[in-house]
């Protein structure tokens, strides 16, 4: 072996022995055997060697290449093993310690129910409408055919806010119906909206809360009938409770803002609490045809247009669907309760998969 090859061999082996990590090792490998490496350049120049010396030089270069290739491979494996040992030592885990889970967020059951309701009515062509929590007396009562002397106001005792003299009385809305009024004032028929949101009444017990959630719907167009209302609500309830044959009935009732008015009941077992089973009935929501006076108050001609409206308590539907016995648990902030009834944010309500 010539002095040039001997020098290349010694320098390469010394550099490999001094390499302390895989980054330095890779630099040596490329500098020796890469496309522009020193040994590769000697092999490429072999064709310029005189014929009488080419055979011997080629054999010497091949022996050197094999030796350096083996030395580089061996050193690389040794460095990889050392790096793995260092990583295992540094990242050692005591498997006897309890698992530390990273807290993850989830969807509150009320928010999940709102998402499901919006998804079902969205598939029917309803759009989402929203309005302020602080309303005027006219939007919350008078426009809905409930003047100051009306006895129905006693069922909606609410929280009134200080009002400057000469300004309309302000209050926390007792229902989301004011959004229906605002929609009819701002938009000409046809109208088809769903209105979920917070509402407030001065009431508090196991089944009532001073702040709760309600969802209402409104449809106004030409030729709307009670049959449209019944069909819409039956389809909603069967989709929400995921029971295609859920028994549903309607009963005559009274609301000042609808005429005729009706309560909607579903099949239910009083003994077991099973939805859709047994021979009992459970009221779940109120509804009716929009009163002509309400339409007129919003500038809609009741001789040309009719409509229907409905309203439901979101907490009530959630309690029925998930078997929750006490309304107050929704607001107790008990993390154990929330973990049990909450839903992953990565699971949006999908109608084709079932809610």
- pLDDT at residue 31 greater than cutoff 70: yes
- pLDDT at residue 29 greater than cutoff 90: no
The structure's pTM equals 0.67
Q: What is the largest CA-CA distance in the chain?
A: 123
Please return the burial class of 301, using the count of CB atoms within 10 Å of its CB with bins 0-12, 13-18 and 19+.
exposed
Q: How confident is the model at residue 176 (pLDDT cuts 50, 70, 90)?
A: very high
265 to 77, 246, 251, 268: CA distances (angstroms): 75, 10, 8, 9
| The pLDDT of residue 155 | 61
- pLDDT at residue 156 greater than cutoff 70: no
Find the mean pLDDT for residues 228-247.
94
Alpha carbon distance 158, 161 (integer Å): 10
pLDDT tens-digit profile of 50-87?
A: 887 778 888 888 888 888 888 889 988 998 998 888 88
| The pLDDT of residue 246 | 93
Please return the burial class of 249, using the count of CB atoms within 10 Å of its CB with bins 0-12, 13-18 and 19+.
middle
Find the mean pLDDT for residues 98-126.
87
User: Which residue's structure tokens are 């909603």?
Assistant: 236
Q: How confident is the model at residue 248 (pLDDT cuts 50, 70, 90)?
A: very high
The two beta strands, 127-128 and 191-200, are parallel
């Amino acid at each position: 072996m010539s002095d040039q090859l001997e020098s290349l061999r010694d320098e390469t082996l010394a550099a490999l022995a001094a390499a302390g990590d895989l980054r330095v090792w890779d630099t040596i490998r490329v500098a020796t055997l890469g496309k522009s490496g020193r040994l590769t350049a000697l092999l490429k120049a072999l064709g310029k060697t005189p014929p009488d010396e080419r055979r011997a030089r080629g054999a010497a270069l091949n022996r050197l290449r094999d030796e350096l290739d083996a030395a580089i491979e061996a050193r690389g494996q040794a460095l990889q093993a050392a790096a793995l040992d260092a990583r295992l030592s540094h990242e050692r885990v005591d498997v006897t310690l309890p698992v530390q889970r990273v807290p993850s967020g989830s969807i509150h059951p009320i928010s999940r129910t709102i998402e499901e309701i919006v998804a079902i009515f969205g598939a029917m062509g309803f759009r989402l409408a929203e309005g302020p929590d602080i309303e005027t007396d006219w939007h919350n009562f008078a426009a809905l055919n409930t003047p100051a002397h009306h006895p129905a106001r006693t069922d909606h005792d609410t929280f009134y806010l200080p009002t400057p003299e000469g300004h309309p009385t302000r209050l926390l809305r007792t229902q989301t119906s004011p959004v229906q009024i605002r929609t009819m004032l701002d938009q000409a028929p046809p109208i088809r909206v769903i209105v979920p949101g917070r509402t407030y009444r001065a009431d508090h017990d196991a089944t009532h809360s001073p702040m709760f959630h309600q969802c209402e719907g409104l449809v106004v167009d030409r030729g709307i009938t009670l049959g449209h209302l019944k069909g819409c609500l039956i389809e909603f309830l069967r989709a929400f409770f995921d029971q295609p044959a859920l028994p549903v009935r309607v009963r005559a009732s009274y609301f000042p803002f609808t005429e005729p008015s009706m309560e909607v009941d579903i099949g239910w077992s009083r003994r077991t609490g099973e939805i859709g089973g047994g021979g009992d009935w459970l009221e779940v929501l109120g509804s009716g045809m929009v009163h002509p006076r309400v339409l007129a108050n919003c500038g809609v001609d009741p001789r040309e247009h009719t409509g229907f409206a409905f309203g439901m308590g979101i907490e009530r539907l959630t309690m029925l669907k998930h078997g929750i016995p006490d309304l107050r648990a929704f607001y107790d902030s008990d993390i154990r309760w929330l973990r049990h009834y909450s839903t992953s944010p990565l699971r949006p309500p999908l109608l084709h998969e079932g809610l």
